[in-house]
Amino acid sequence: DIQMTQSPSTLSASVGDRVTITCRASQSISSWLAWYQQKPGKAPKLLIYKASSLESGVPSRFSGSGSGTEFTLTISSLQPDDFATYYCQQYNSYLGTFGQGTKVEIK
Amino acid sequence: EVQLLESGGGLVQPGGSLRLSCAASGFTFSSYAMSWVRQAPGKGLEWVSAISGSGGSTYYADSVKGRFTISRDNSKNTLYLQMNSLRAEDTAVYYCAKGPAGGGVIADMDVWGQGTTVTVSS
């Protein structure tokens, strides 16, 4: 089975900071990777699909990159609404594995 | 507006059964793969199961294989998850989610329901 590892697990940042979250796959998943944002008590929200495609309605400060086994989610200028937990998900195999999550906290 | 509404959660004893439902509206239900994802209290997301638009292909996480069954009724625009032999570790919020247009059965999920809570405890 493909394992997904996110880093860091927690990130402390300030409004306006550039933030980068990394997701590594245990084997190549081509570009079959999505990123989600989840706020407490709410359902996840799709941000990025196919590693770098921005979901409709998602602000352009969010971007994704990578292929194969290493991927990044970048928030170019962190906004107050962006403090949340972020998850990557691979969908290259017959299982849709999530990473363990990265919590972005206020510094 | 595309909407997913889960129901059927509740308190069940270990070894018991429960059937979750997810009512879909605002899109051509039969054209899209659907998935179930769960989240245990204070934990991350766990992909559980997925089904093709026709219902002909199904996939399961190892943790639920043989105990859970995903199905759909396209005439009723409803997705189901039959959960048998429930364990304490199945306690979670269960979300249904819609796959993208033209995507595979296992894919990113662009619309999510609000979730329904399942608690397995004696």
Per the CB < 8 A criterion, the answer to whether B48 and B71 are in contact is no
Please give the residue of chain B at the shortest CA–CA distance from A58: B110
Q: Scan for tokens 């999505």, then name that residue.
A: A34
Instruction: Please give the pLDDT value at position B8.
Output: 98
**Amino acid occupying residue A36:** Y
Q: CB pairs below 8 Å between A and B: how many?
A: 58
Average pLDDT per block of 10 residues along chain A, 107 residues long:
96 97 97 97 98 98 98 97 97 93 95
- Chain B: closest CA distance from residue A12 (Å): 19
Per the CB < 8 A criterion, the answer to whether B7 and B81 are in contact is no
State the Cα–Cα distance between residues A94 and A49, nearest whole angstrom. 17
Please give the residue of chain B at the shortest CA–CA distance from A49: B108
Q: Scan for tokens 């107050």, then name that residue.
A: A80
Cα–Cα nearest to B23, from B76, B67, B84, B85:
B76
CB of A36 within 8 Å of any CB in chain B? yes
Cα dihedral A56, A61, A67, A71 in deg (nearest 10):
-120
Instruction: Please give the pLDDT value at position B102.
Output: 83
Say whether A43 and B114 touch across the interface (CB within 8 A): yes
Hey, what are B64's tokens? 């639920």
User: Phi and psi of A93, rounded to 5°?
Assistant: -110, -170
In the predicted model, what is the mean pLDDT of residues B12-37? 97
What residues in B contact A43, CB-CB < 8 Å? 95, 112-115
State the Cα–Cα distance between residues B21 and B82, nearest whole angstrom. 9
Instruction: Please give the pLDDT value at position A93.
Output: 86
The pLDDT tens digits for A44-73 are 999 999 999 999 999 999 999 999 999 999
CB of A47 within 8 Å of any CB in chain B? no
